[in-house]
């Protein structure tokens, strides 16, 4: 049988191409998608309150509520999705005549002649994925998710014609371009969610101190160090929470537009990805300082 399980302890013969994958069943994939959608809906909910406060002057999204709301109701589901993915992580190995999938407690070996087609996911959630279509149009019981499915398809394409046709799918080109051009190293995120929020918080806090207390250390002289640091912490927390929400919304819009454009122009996937990353960086690193500066000079 194509999906007959064997011992996970069985060693693989040398010379195979091996790829780290996350293997979801239909139910676990649905759960992984639901967790990410829950995190996204919470970001949209918080963003709506922030916009309402900016437009009407109301205070429905205080800084601490924003920060903890994002941490618990977006960060929590994302953490659970990450743990779910780790629990379903395994290894796919391309052998001479079959594809082997080794998970924590299971091992599947699928002969190439049993694979009729490979269907990329149209929407890459919880990540770029593939569905294997076996005999009688049955789907293999696990869906394979990996950051760059093109690498697995290329390895399979040497032995499996169905894999070659899947390489031209827009979703695969989208994932390949994102893998090549959309990855960021940790210094980028230190600047984005560390230095930028801190710098803006210092500017806004100092301005508030001058307006309310008549000097940069007015609150400190009047009430002491504790209230002064507490006020700065609330200001920083509010700026950080707002920027996390804004950054998430920008990323959502950019990814949706990039995916749609890639479906229209799949051969320009890398150029579209470069444009998407430029737009995202300009929206964050240019528009936000410009917005703050414009209000300070108004």
pLDDT of residue 158: 79
Below-50 pLDDT ranges, the chain: 1-15
pLDDT at 4: 41
- Rounded distance between C-alpha atoms, residue 34 and residue 230, angstroms: 37
Predicted confidence at residue 135, as pLDDT, reads 80
Farthest-apart Cα atoms in the chain, separation: 80
Encode 167-181: b = buried (16+ Cβ within 10 Å), e = exposed. Answer: bebbbbbbbbbbbee
The CA distance from 174 to 147, in Å, is 11
**Domain chopping of the chain, boundaries:** 17-25+88-167, 183-298
Rounded to whole angstroms, the Cα distance separating 248 from 280 reads: 10
Nearest to 232 by CA among 219, 242, 222, 245: 219
> What CATH number labels 17-25+88-167?
2.30.29.30
List, in order, residues 6 or more apart from 221 with CB less than 8 Å away: 213, 215
């Amino acid at each position: 049988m194509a999906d007959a399980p064997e011992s996970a302890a069985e060693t693989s013969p040398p010379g195979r191409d091996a790829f780290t994958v996350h293997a979801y069943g239909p139910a676990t994939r649905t759960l992984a998608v639901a967790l990410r959608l829950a995190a996204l809906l919470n970001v949209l909910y918080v963003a709506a309150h922030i916009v309402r406060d900016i437009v009407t002057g109301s205070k429905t999204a205080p800084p601490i509520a924003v920060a903890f709301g994002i941490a618990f109701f977006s960060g929590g589901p994302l953490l659970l999705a990450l743990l779910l993915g780790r629990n379903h992580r395994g290894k796919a190995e391309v052998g001479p005549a079959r594809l082997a999938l080794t998970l924590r407690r299971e091992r599947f070996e699928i002969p190439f002649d049993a694979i009729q087609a490979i269907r990329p996911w149209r929407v890459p959630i919880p990540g770029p994925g593939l569905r294997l279509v076996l005999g009688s149009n049955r789907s293999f019981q696990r869906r394979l998710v990996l950051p760059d499915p093109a690498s697995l398809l290329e390895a399979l394409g040497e032995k499996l014609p169905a894999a070659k046709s899947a390489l031209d799918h827009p979703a695969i080109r989208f994932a390949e371009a994102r893998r090549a051009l959309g990855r960021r190293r940790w210094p980028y995120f230190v600047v984005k969610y560390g230095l930028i929020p801190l710098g803006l918080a210092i500017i806004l806090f100092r301005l508030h101190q001058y307006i309310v207390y008549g000097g940069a250390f007015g609150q400190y002289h009047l009430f002491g160090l504790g209230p002064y640091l507490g006020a700065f912490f609330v200001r920083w927390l509010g700026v950080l929470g707002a920027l996390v929400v804004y950054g998430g919304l920008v990323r959502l819009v950019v990814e949706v537009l990039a995916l749609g454009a890639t479906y229209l122009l799949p051969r320009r996937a890398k150029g579209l990805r470069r444009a998407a990353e430029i737009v995202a960086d300009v929206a964050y690193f240019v528009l936000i300082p410009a917005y703050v500066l414009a209000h300070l000079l108004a």
